[in-house]
Amino acid sequence: MKLPSCVLAAAAVPLASAQLDFWAKKAGLEFFGAATDTPGFREREPYAASYPKYDAIFADPKEFGQTTPTNGQKWMFVEPQPGVFNFTEGEFVSKLAKKTGKILRCHALVWHSQLAPWVEETTWTPEELKAVIKRHIFGVAGHWKGQCAHWDVVNEALDEDGTYRKSVFYNVLGEEYIKLAFQWAAEADPTAKLYYNDYGIERPASVKTAGALRIVKLLKDAGIRIDGVGMQAHLHADNHPTMEDHVKTMTAYAEHVEEVAFTELDVRIKTGTPLNDTKLAWQKESYQFVSEACIRVPQCVGITIWDFYDPFSWIPHVFPDNGLALPWSEDFSKKPAYDGMIDIFKKYADKPRPKPGKPTKPTKPEKPGKPRVKRFSA
């Protein structure tokens, strides 16, 4: 019997080749996830024809075990008017997470950007702004109480030079707002892991890394709970942190917090000059360094990419002449970075991960003559 060609094609290409969450878990991580957004939102709109394929990849539990709403829980959507809450956008993703069996990371409670305009347009006294932040945190974290495995409580509180960003929150309340936000988040949703989240805090020598450590210590010294540091990791293919950089930075955070995570990973390529294999190889290396570093640092719980499909990426909209930052290209083919990460996860599959706080010891003595792999420390 002659099979129709479509059947042959389907048989030749297995539906699901290696999947990220499946192999990341085998390597000991808690999850590999992808952020996602409401259909029709911003950059997604012209790609309605791609939705079915996109949705099928997103839903595959072996591909992504976790998700984060890229936009829907931000202040401008959830509290567009003072004390008027709207959870429609955010609930699209939280319901999708439930439906597709994914861990939900919630994002973000106090952030200077994508704020509702009224927050910045009003001249607040400290007491008034405290009440505004408190209402927002109890309203939003309270709404999703028990559903969020992680909450980005304070996002991007640091300026490029590592000092506090001069946001409306800082200008009125100073660093006090950070303490209050974490206190109220802990009351509003006691089971969520509470994170400080920022970009540019992936390298050990960065002034922003020093700033993030300062924030962690500020909270710890005040006896306020902070559970994790989220490294957004919006990286550049042609100038990315090394694996040692990542390990060293995470190890420094992990001296103070229970967990760390890569929360918004993407690796942008310069698109002003033609794409070539070198650029794709740089990108692959960067994704691999993040993956391997996360496995090697016992407190690193997982990796979230900031969407997975290039046309839905924020990068080309915000950084002209940059893009192609995600593992899936516009035609749904996978970039070398995809197999590159799978290779790393396979290398560590079914090997025990180091336990937090335990001294570093290889599981088996290394054979003489072979360079000793430094698995557990920077």
Ligand X SMILES: *[C@@H]1O[C@H](CO)[C@@H](O)[C@H](O)[C@H]1NC(C)=O
Counting contacts by CB under 6 A, is residue 91 touching ligand X?
A: no
232: its two tokens: 């957004």
Rounded Cα distance between 180 and 109, Å, is 12
- Using CB atoms within 10 A of its CB, is residue 358 exposed (0-12), middle (13-18) or buried (19+)? exposed
The residue within the footprint of ligand X, chosen from 5, 191, 276, 363 (CB under 6 A), is: 276
- Active-site choice (63, 259, 264, 285): 264
Counting contacts by CB under 6 A, is residue 278 touching ligand X?
A: yes
Counting contacts by CB under 6 A, is residue 277 touching ligand X?
A: yes
The residue within the footprint of ligand X, chosen from 86, 100, 147, 329 (CB under 6 A), is: 86
81: its two tokens: 């008017």
Counting contacts by CB under 6 A, is residue 273 touching ligand X?
A: yes
368: its two tokens: 């003489």
- Considering the complex, state which of residue 17 and residue 88 has its C-beta at the smaller distance from ligand X: 88
Counting contacts by CB under 6 A, is residue 114 touching ligand X?
A: no
Smallest gap from Cβ 273 to ligand X, in A, equals 4
Smallest gap from Cβ 325 to ligand X, in A, equals 16
Total residues at the site for ligand X (CB under 6 A)? 8
What number of helices (H) and strands (E) belong to the chain?
14, 10
- Using CB atoms within 10 A of its CB, is residue 261 exposed (0-12), middle (13-18) or buried (19+)? buried
CB 61 within 8 A of CB 101: yes
Counting contacts by CB under 6 A, is residue 123 touching ligand X?
A: no
Counting contacts by CB under 6 A, is residue 89 touching ligand X?
A: yes
Q: Is 156 a catalytic residue?
A: yes
Minimal CA–CA distance to 162: which of 231, 212, 233, 218? 212
Rounded Cα distance between 178 and 180, Å, is 5
Smallest gap from Cβ 36 to ligand X, in A, equals 16
- Considering the complex, state which of residue 277 and residue 350 has its C-beta at the smaller distance from ligand X: 277
To 10 degrees, the CA torsion angle through 154, 206, 218, 105? 30
Minimal CA–CA distance to 89: which of 140, 134, 32? 140
Q: Hey, is 350 helix, strand or coil?
A: coil
- Considering the complex, state which of residue 276 and residue 333 has its C-beta at the smaller distance from ligand X: 276
Q: Please give the full DSSP string across 355-372, using - where no structure is assigned.
A: PTTSPP--SSPPPTTSPP
Per the rule left: phi > 0, alpha: psi between -120 and 50, beta: everything else, 72 is alpha
- Considering the complex, state which of residue 171 and residue 278 has its C-beta at the smaller distance from ligand X: 278
- Binding part of the chain for ligand X, among 130-138, 271-279, 283-291, 296-304 by CB under 6 A, reads 271-279
Residue type at position 198? D
- Considering the complex, state which of residue 21 and residue 89 has its C-beta at the smaller distance from ligand X: 89
Rounded Cα distance between 263 and 269, Å, is 19
CB 147 within 8 A of CB 94: yes
- Considering the complex, state which of residue 28 and residue 90 has its C-beta at the smaller distance from ligand X: 90
Helix (H) or strand (E) holding 107: strand 103-111
- Binding part of the chain for ligand X, among 124-132, 277-285, 319-327, 345-353 by CB under 6 A, reads 277-285
Rounded Cα distance between 215 and 170, Å, is 13
Rounded Cα distance between 39 and 48, Å, is 8
- Binding part of the chain for ligand X, among 86-94, 283-291, 292-300, 327-335 by CB under 6 A, reads 86-94
Smallest gap from Cβ 85 to ligand X, in A, equals 9
- Binding part of the chain for ligand X, among 56-64, 273-281, 288-296, 314-322 by CB under 6 A, reads 273-281
Q: Is 120 a catalytic residue?
A: no
Q: Which of residues 279-308 bind ligand X (CB under 6 A)?
A: 279
- Active-site choice (156, 202, 259, 292): 156
Smallest gap from Cβ 293 to ligand X, in A, equals 25
Smallest gap from Cβ 122 to ligand X, in A, equals 20
Active site residues: 156, 264
* Interface positions with ligand X (CB under 6 A): 86, 88-89, 273, 276-279
